[in-house]
Amino acid sequence: MTFEPKFAITARVANALMRIEGARQAVKDLPITPAVLATLRETARLYSTHYSTLIEGNRLTREQVVRVVERQEHFPGRERDEGEVMGYYAALERVEQWAEAGGEVTELQIQTLHGLVMGGGKTRVRPSAYRDGQNVIRDSQSGRIVYLPPEATDVPRLMKAMVEWIARAERELHLPCPLLAGIAHYQFATIHPYYDGNGRTGRLLTTLLLHLGGYGLKGLYSLEEYYARNLGAYYRALTVGPSHNYYAGRADADITGWVEYFCDGVADSFDSVRERSRDAQGRGEPDRSEVMRKLDPRQRKVLALFRKSAFVTSRDVERLFGLSQRAARNLLRNWVEAGFVVVADEAKKTRKYGLNTHLESLLSG
């Protein structure tokens, strides 16, 4: 079973690709200060989390999402919504880690992303097995069938074929990364390998592919916002073929319309980042984004604590990441060994940690 997508590179697609490249280069060359970069990146992460879960019906506002992620507030009756938010945010952090490591996308990574999406914020999850039965996508109001995905017995072969095509598209076809990411998004939604969480996982897969392909744009964009602004257009673009049945046309459908929609979205998102970055760039300070990129997502997040105080404790790290006391202490010990923080006070119960002096410039701006 192979996957060979049918699409055309139209004038609209070509124009979007040129816009993407222009914005990508412009953002790369902007001298953004470390503090501004960290703020913009965290804002993009929160936007992505809010809008991707909003698409699936999450009821938390953008402000409430921020408070949930920062573990500042609990909203009674919204436990499921909170779990969705924490799961998506944890998966975004994992995407950043994998992007830093590089390599090719694997089925195991996709299954792990789904495990994180459904894990309510847990960072240690089991990769999710594909569905073992049929699922039907229905209109929430009329109840009519919108899409009938492939049978469960075909899912493993279809997923394997999709991942193999991604690798081949990169190595042999030299397909532009935005096209590759968009087609992978479409095919994942087509296979619908899980009973729930397919939309969120598919959007995360898209982000991972863009980052791995050099289109991470310093982690400052949110494609999810583009989708959420007009959900009707998003779903219409994904709905192609003469029938709602996978075996009656969708598998072999021409997906040029989706590719055009997707590339327009990447171009719009990148243009938005270029404008925001220009507005927020520092006044003559050096671009320390290379230093910032060497930090993992948790290290970048804990910088916010150091901007408020010269020292942090294991208790601060517990609260920030929702860790156990032991896990927080282990994390800080690893950071000391890695040269990220230094022990500022040896007291066992109230041990304090300071940011290593060679990284203090990351707090300016």
Other Cβ atoms less than 10 A from the Cβ of 284: the count is 7
Query: Which range among 20-29, 122-131, 262-271, 300-309 shows the weakest confidence by mean pLDDT?
Result: 300-309
148 has pLDDT over 50: yes
Model confidence pLDDT, tens digit, residues 312-352: 888 888 888 888 888 888 999 999 988 888 888 776 667 88
Other Cβ atoms less than 10 A from the Cβ of 180: the count is 23
287 has pLDDT over 60: no
Average pLDDT, the chain: 88
CA 134 to centroid of chain Cα atoms: 27
Measured CA to CA, the distance from residue 270 to residue 20 in angstroms comes to 6
For residue 145, the cross-strand partners are: 138
Q: How far apart are the first and last CA of the chain?
A: 53
Residue span(s) of the chain under CATH 1.10.3290.10 come to: 11-280
295 has pLDDT over 70: yes
CA 89 to centroid of chain Cα atoms: 8
Q: How far is the CA of 245 from the CAs of 118, 133, 196, in angstroms?
A: 27, 16, 19
Q: What share of the chain has pLDDT > 70, as a percent?
A: 94
Measured CA to CA, the distance from residue 237 to residue 257 in angstroms comes to 6
274 has pLDDT over 50: yes
Q: What share of the chain has pLDDT > 90, as a percent?
A: 52
Other Cβ atoms less than 10 A from the Cβ of 88: the count is 31
Q: Which fold has domain 11-280?
A: Fic-like fold (1.10.3290)
Considering only residues 120 and 363, tell me which one the structure prediction assigns the higher pLDDT: 120
Q: Which fold has domain 298-363?
A: Arc Repressor Mutant, subunit A (1.10.10)
Residue span(s) of the chain under CATH 1.10.10.10 come to: 298-363
Give the global pTM: 0.80
The predicted structure's pLDDT at residue 280: 66
Measured CA to CA, the distance from residue 302 to residue 334 in angstroms comes to 14
